[in-house]
Amino acid sequence: MKNAFLRYIILRVLQCLMVIFVGITVTFMIPRFTPVDPVEQAITRMTMFQQSTHPEALEEMRASLATLYGLEGSVFEQYLGFWGRLFRGDLGPSLSSFPRPVMTLIRTSLPWTAGLLLTSTIIAWSLGNIIGAFAGYFHHKKWSQVLGVMALVVWPIPYYIFAFLLLVLLAYVIPIFPLSGAFAIGSSPGLNWNFISSVLRHGFLPALSIVAIGFGGQFLGMRSLVSNVISEDYILYAEIAGVPNHRILKNYVIRNALLPQITGLALQLGMIFNGAMITEFVFSYPGIGYLAYTAIFSGDFGLIMGIAIFSIVAVALAVLIIDLLYPVFDPRVKLR
């Protein structure tokens, strides 16, 4: 039994490492096969508003930029150099914010994305699943049906429209929330009430938009799962045996229906490192999503890879953790 468990863990860890290796390799290759050339992008940026550049000067500029950006040599040589740096925790310089290290840019944006998405994802997941479970179990009740209709109305609304409506309503028509940004001008970042309250106020609308839409999906999913579970024989048996409703719901219904939702949550948490591009755009909120967008359009290989690596590792680790913890949630899963 002990050997089987050990083998299970080793296999899963190897699988995870393989996923990370392949993912990072693909991430390294893809930008190099796109028509975006960071050197040409840089030249275009540098000469956009200048007078003519002499042909000789232009050729020299190209050569010196390729050297600076580490884009000399074959793709394979660049690939080996990339892994060498990666093992030292160095993701190299950003090409669009050269010579700023990619790690520094990610470090600035990640806390905002993580703070916003972690909170709103967990709130949406918890509310959606708890209320969805009740609504599924008490599906004949009026309130359950009303909630179902509300979720059905909100959930299909395209996210950007819903977010924009919130913005117009609560930042323009009734201007109680700010239109953009992460905190007020003049509040110094740190553990002080001014800053914290400002962050809460600025983050409220983006979080509300994610929670509202996320809640709808979780609610509908859980309600549907619960509807299936309550038709199982063991539930019928428990009811006939006179087990109180709240115990049936808690111990038999939710526990069984929650399993696929837990996997979903783990993946969602892993995806946090991708950022929330639309949220960040609509609310002008600083984060990884906007950073990734600008990196793609400016051909910033280093930054694209840095963000993708974080995301790949996070998703792979989330899946690994769920794989390892699954037997705890579901005793029916036996190790073979």
Partner 1 sequence: MKSKYFVIAVGLVLALLLGSFAATAQDFAEIAPGVARHETLILENPEGRIADPDRFNRWAPGGGASTGLQQLALDALWFVDPNAGIDGEPWNNALAAEGPIYNEDFTQMTVNLREGIFWSDGVPFTAADVVFTVETLRANPGMSYHNQLALLVDEVYATDDYTVVFDLTRSNSRFHAMFTVRWAAMFIMPKHIWEVVDDPLAFDFNPPVSLGPYVLKDFDPTGHWFLWERREDWERTSLGMQYGMPAPKYALYTAPGPADQRVMAQANQNLDVIHDLSPEGVQAVISRNPTSRGWFEGFPWAHPDPTLPAVIINHEVEPLGDNEVRWALQLAIDIAGVSMASYSGAATVSALHAPPTGMYKEWYFDPMEDWLLNYTIELAGEQYQPYNPDATLAIANMVRPSLGDQVPTDEAEIKKALGYGWWNYDTDMAEKILLDKGFTRNRQGNWLLPDGTPWTIDILCMGASNPTMTRVATMIAEQWTRFGVPSEAVVSDQLWNRMNYGDFETAIAWSIETWGGHHDFFFFLESWHSDFWRTSGELASGTNRMRWQHPELDRIIDEIRGIDFDDPRGFELGMDFLKLAVEETPLIPLMSYNVFAVTDWYFWEGFPTSDNPYANPVANWSNTRFMFPMLRPTGRQ
Say whether the peptide bond before residue 189 is cis (omega within 30 degrees of 0).
no
- In angstroms, give the least distance from the CB of 168 to partner 1: 7
CB 147 within 8 A of CB 131: yes
- In angstroms, give the least distance from the CB of 53 to partner 1: 6
* Whole-angstrom Cα Rg for the chain: 25
Q: Name the region of 190 (left: φ>0; alpha: ψ -120 to 50; beta: rest).
A: left
Q: Does 328 bind partner 1 (CB under 8 A)?
A: no
What is the maximal distance between C-alpha atoms in the chain? 90
Q: Say which residue the tokens 């045996």 belong to.
A: 241
Task: Tell me if residue 197 falls in helix, strand or coil.
Answer: helix
Q: Which of residues 19-58 bind partner 1 (CB under 8 A)?
A: 35-37, 40-46, 49-58
DSSP line for 94-132: -STTTTSBHHHHHHHHHHHHHHHHHHHHHHHHHHHHHHH
Helices (H), 155-243: 159-167, 193-229, 233-240
Q: Which is nearer to partner 1, 138 or 204 (CB)?
A: 204
Q: Does 192 bind partner 1 (CB under 8 A)?
A: no
Out of 73, 156, 189, 244, the residue judged to bind partner 1 by CB under 8 A: 189
Q: Does 254 bind partner 1 (CB under 8 A)?
A: no
Out of 8, 79, 281, 326, the residue judged to bind partner 1 by CB under 8 A: 281
Q: Binding string to partner 1 for residues 291 to 310, with x set by CB under 8 A, is what?
A: x--x--x-------------
Q: Which of residues 105-144 bind partner 1 (CB under 8 A)?
A: 105, 108-109, 112
Q: What angle do CA 41, 36, 70 make, to 5 degrees?
A: 70
Q: Say which residue the tokens 């909630």 belong to.
A: 147
Q: Which is nearer to partner 1, 198 or 261 (CB)?
A: 198
Q: Which is nearer to partner 1, 175 or 260 (CB)?
A: 175
Q: Say which residue the tokens 């913005």 belong to.
A: 167
- In angstroms, give the least distance from the CB of 181 to partner 1: 5
Out of 3, 74, 88, 186, the residue judged to bind partner 1 by CB under 8 A: 186
Q: Binding string to partner 1 for residues 145 to 184, with x set by CB under 8 A, is what?
A: -------------------x--xx--xx--xxxxxxxx-x
CB 209 within 8 A of CB 166: yes
Q: Which is nearer to partner 1, 15 or 284 (CB)?
A: 284
CB 103 within 8 A of CB 89: yes
Determine the size of the site formed for partner 1 (CB under 8 A): 71
Q: Does 209 bind partner 1 (CB under 8 A)?
A: no
Q: Which of residues 3-22 bind partner 1 (CB under 8 A)?
A: none
Q: Which of residues 63-82 bind partner 1 (CB under 8 A)?
A: 64-65, 67-68
Angle 102-137/301-329 helices, nearest 10 degrees?
40
> Residue 127 corresponds to which tokens in the numbers above?
């509310």
Q: Which is nearer to partner 1, 203 or 221 (CB)?
A: 203
Out of 207, 265, 272, 282, the residue judged to bind partner 1 by CB under 8 A: 282
